[in-house]
Amino acid sequence: MPAVSPAAPSDRDLEALKRIRDLLAGKRIALLTGAGLSTDSGIPDYRGPGSLPRSPMTYQEFVRDAASRQRYWARNHVGWSHLRHADPNPGHRAAAEMERRGLLSGVITQNVDRLHEDAGSFNVVDLHGRYDQVVCLDCGRTYSRHLLAAVLEELNPGFLEQATQSGLVEMAPDADATVEDRALISSFVVAVCPACGGTLKPDFVYFGENVPKDRVERSYAIVDDAGAMLVAGSSLTVMSGLRFVRHAAKDGKPVVIINRGETRGDDRATIKLDAGVSESLTWLAAELPPL
């Protein structure tokens, strides 16, 4: 799905962006991004203004209940068919440009959409995993989500067409989708690991699941290697991202937060800007001086 070109910053936002530029100038920046960055790519936010309430699948629910796994994979099959076509937006490209110019110590993203990598960023920690892979919970093997899509289509011929016709209500950032036809969901055939017959799960962190230790350590290293922290498009509702903001603030590093709506890190922010993320990052990428 094509990315949306952001509008130019308003006069009010422009004044705040100039203060942010002056604060960040001369410092390497640790960039933490959330779902608010990908909304211009057509991927909805979990908690942004105007977002409908959602009840994401928890890890405990997924592993203990076969019916929940069936419902999830049926909806994910529909969601994947739409979200895999998402393209990086100007905010993703701005982040890649900032990295190319040596302004970033790295990118920590809470998103699983891999759009930072598609835009050209290299030093990226996919904190919550990636939705282009699946993992077997029994043997640990990983597989391409593209490959699984073909398997699921073979197991469930015509399902995508029927699900879309029955009413695709809403997408979610983790490629989940709301499908109204319960009878259709209950007929969905779930794929198993081709190596051991075990349970397959998307290779990203569910609610109630811990972020792998190595990703946490790599993220702390990015923050420690920076002179400032910039949060773009995250409400910081979950501790997985908020801890890095607290870590930077504890070390006396400036923290800038750009997000639509309040965040749990606002009390740690040196500057907080309630504005669009793509246009803000695009402006900063063009205006920040070289180190």
Residue 218 exposure: Cα atoms within 13 Å on the Cβ side: 16
The total of other beta-carbon atoms located within 10 Å of residue 75's CB is 22
Q: Of 49, 122, 42, 35, whose CA–CA distance to 79 is shortest?
A: 42
List the structure tokens of 156: 């469930």
Q: How far apart are CA 266 and CA 236, in angstroms?
A: 9
Report the run of H or E that residue 95 belongs to, with start and end. helix 90-100
Catalytic entry in 92, 116, 128, 247:
128
Q: To 10 degrees, the CA torsion angle through 199, 58, 202, 236? A: -160
Q: Tell me, yes or no, if 92 is annotated catalytic.
A: no
Q: Of 253, 287, 251, 285, whose CA–CA distance to 269 is shortest?
A: 253
Tell me the catalytic residues.
Answer: 128
